Amino acid sequence: MSAPSDKTIVVQDLRLAYGTREVIHGISFEVGRNEIFAIIGPAQSGKSSLLRCLNRTIDFVAGATMTGTILFEGENVRKTRDVFALRRKIGMVAPLPVGLPLTIYDNVAFAPRCAGMHDKHELDGLVERCLRQAALWDEVKDRLGSLGTALSGGQQQRLTIARALSHQPDVLCLDEFSIAIDPVTTMRIEDVLKELSREITIVLVTNLVQQARRLARRTMFMWKGEIVELGATEVVFSEAPADRRTYDYVHGIFG
């Protein structure tokens, strides 16, 4: 499988340091439109930090300095004048579900309201669409006025995805989304992601290597802030990847 030609994200010589400690060492890669792109690697490899660079939430980390180029739809992320618009276009889902202390409905409607959407009919349609996209609508449609924080862990994670989708992003970044949910719910969310990839690009950081194998068109293996291997997922998980460390990691010999 060849790399996609229609690029949504282009990263060139990206370096990231926390104070004097460099954690990402000059990496370059591209992500295609409507691609599910997986990033795997041991802890402390720079995977989560990389996601934060993509939508500039790294700006919230004191002492973090980033160099290099990140292009999103051709625009240099580091030079964008409207960071808030960038973060709406590149949505983020955290490892643990963080529900707002609001109703299920208001969790999804919060960001659109902040952006100026106040028409109830329009909001109703958006909330339903996002909850359907997150495979949650049928479970909550009769209790939209209930607190989102009262949902189960798996439901809260799907609510977090619905909330991210309410921004109508072009890219959805997921950081270890299945870390605190059961295998059945994990598989359900994976099905959601497959459907969503028809409309948006998905960048997935996962500690479950088989999840990358199931979902991703291409997989990038990071280790100690560097790219060890990047290629078609079937090659990365084959018996003969380009780098022996890739074989050792995906087969559980280390990491």
Query: Over 80: is that where the pLDDT of 3 sits?
Result: no
Domain ranges of the chain: 7-250
CA atoms of 25 and 111, how far apart (whole Å)? 35
- Strand-pair partners of 30: 10
Question: Measuring CA to CA, how many Å separate 26 from each of 56, 159, 173, 227, 248?
Answer: 17, 35, 21, 9, 24
Residue 240: exposed, middle, or buried by beta-carbon count in 10 A (0-12, 13-18, 19+)?
exposed
Higher confidence at residue 5 or residue 140?
A: 140
Closest to 34 in 3D by CA, of 253, 229, 189, 198: 198
For residue 195, the number of C-alpha atoms closer than 13 Å in the C-beta half-sphere is 11
Q: At 41, is the secondary structure helix, strand, or coil?
A: coil
The CATH number of the domain covering residues in 7-250: 3.40.50.300
CA atoms of 47 and 227, how far apart (whole Å)? 10
Interval 43-99: pLDDT, tens: 999 999 999 999 999 999 999 999 999 999 999 999 998 999 999 999 999 876 676
